[in-house]
Amino acid sequence: MTATENEQPANDSMALVLNPEPGQLQHRMGIEYLEYSPERVVATMPVEGNKQPYGLLHGGANAVLAESVGSIASALHAGEGRIAVGLELSCTHHRSATEGVVTGVATPLHRGRSTATYEIVITDEQGRRTCTARLTCVIRDQPAG
């Protein structure tokens, strides 16, 4: 499924994740979702505003993008009435990005009933891999309320 302005997410909780309110981390980081399904989630994030003091994209920004796309994919896999929350995240930073946008693509490594693991590849505008991450989420029933 491709994200468009007219398209509605699968449920209300997913709508909040894909269209965060101002002040939420994804909104502050400038993350925009381009495509989302349990098999593949794609999002972009600007480098500007997410740099460390040396002018390079902050490694923590990579981690935010990786956990965001991996968590969305895990939540879509979990389905209605269930939630997915991050259990473990690892990131390897291969090269720096200093301008433009980076794109994160999450694809599944494992999708089970209680856990889901995704590989997230982050690339720069030239298609060069800047970061590889792996996220495991635990899947639980959604709490009441």
Catalogue the active-site residues: 67
| Nearby residues of 119 by Cβ (< 8 Å), 6 or more positions away | 106, 107, 108, 109, 132, 133, 134
Q: Report the amino acid identity of residue 96.
A: S
Helix (H) and strand (E) counts in the chain: 3, 6
Q: Could you give the CA distance from residue 24 to residue 43 in angstroms, rounded to a whole number?
A: 16
Q: Name 57's Cβ contacts closer than 8 Å, sequence gap at least 6.
A: 47, 50, 51, 96, 97, 98, 102, 130
